[in-house]
Amino acid sequence: MTARTMAETMETAQDTGVVRLAAGDDWLAVCDRSLLTPGRGVAALLPDGRQVALFLDRAGRTYAIDNRDPFTGAYVLSRGLVGSDGGQPFVASPLLKQRFDLATGACLDDDEVTVAVFEVRAD
């Protein structure tokens, strides 16, 4: 992911309609923004079968990372709790509680682990 798209991820619009994920050259409409609860996630299915975990934080920003928990192999990251540490939002895996930075996908409890980050926008 490039710096530009990451900045975009962080600054997505606040109250508008549809949440979209970058899929190839297109933006895939995922769901109505109102379906997201601040501080919680949902899972979305990409056409190629990949699973994405989508989150909304308290400030209204959306984030998208891979739904697969690399520590257990289960597709559950969307079901974790969202928190923030020094302004950095993260999700804690519901299985064994490792935390992942939502903006970068980096695992905060293990330097060597990262999950993929997806481009997302809400407009």
Partner 1 sequence: MPVSTSPTARASRPAAVPTLVVVGHGMVGQRFLEALAERGLTGAAGTARVVVLCEEPRAAYDRVQLSSYFSGRTPDDLSLVEPGFMERHGFELRLGDPAESVDRAARTVTARSGETFAYDTLVLATGSYPFVPPVPGKDTEGCFVYRTIEDLLAIEEYARTATTGAVVGGGLLGLEAAGALKGLGLDTHVVEFAPRLMPVQVDEGGGAALLRTIENMGLTVHTGVGTQEVTAGEDGSVNGMSLSDGSALATDLVVFSAGVRPRDQLARECGLAVGQRGGIVVDEECRTSDPAVFAIGECALAPDGRVYGLVAPGYEMAQTAAGVIAGGKASFTGADMSTKLKLLGVDVASFGDAHGTSEGCLDVVYADARSGVYKKLVIGRDGTLLGGVLIGDADQYGMLRPMTGTVLPVAPEQLVLPAGTGGPAVLGPSALPDDAVICSCHNVTKGAVCEHGTLPEVKKCTKAGTGCGSCVKVIGQLLPQSQDTGLCGCFPYTRSELYEIVRTLEITSYAGLLDSHGRDSARGGDGCEVCKPTVGSIIASLATTVGASGYVLDGEQAALQDTNDHFLANLQRNGSYSIVPRIPGGEITPERLIVIGEVARDFGLYTKITGGQRIDLFGARVEQLPLIWTRLVDAGFESGHAYGKSLRTVKSCVGQTWCRYGVQDSVRMAIDLELRYRGLRSPHKLKSAVSGCARECAEARGKDFGIIATAQGWNLYVGGNGGATPRHADLLAQDLSDTELVRLIDRFLMFYIRTADRLERTSTWLDRIEGGLDHVRDVVVHDSLGLCDELERLMADHVRGYRDEWAETINDPERLRRFVTFVNAPDAPDPSVRFVPERDQVKPDLDILAGPVLAVRTLEGTAS
Site residues, partner 1 (CB under 8 A):
28-31, 35, 37-40, 42-45, 49, 51, 54, 57-58, 70-76, 79-87, 89, 92, 94-99, 109-110, 113
On the CB side of 59, CA atoms within 13 Å amount to 11
Q: Closest separation between CB of residue 78 and partner 1, Å?
A: 9
Is-contact 62 80, C-beta < 8 A?
no
Q: Closest separation between CB of residue 100 and partner 1, Å?
A: 11
Q: Which is nearer to partner 1, 13 or 29 (CB)?
A: 29
Q: Closest separation between CB of residue 12 and partner 1, Å?
A: 16
Q: Which is nearer to partner 1, 6 or 113 (CB)?
A: 113
Separation CA 48–CA 5 (nearest Å): 21
Q: Closest separation between CB of residue 40 and partner 1, Å?
A: 5
Cβ-Cβ contacts under 8 Å for 47 (sequence gap 6 or more)? 23, 28
What is the gyration radius of the CA atoms in the chain, in angstroms? 13
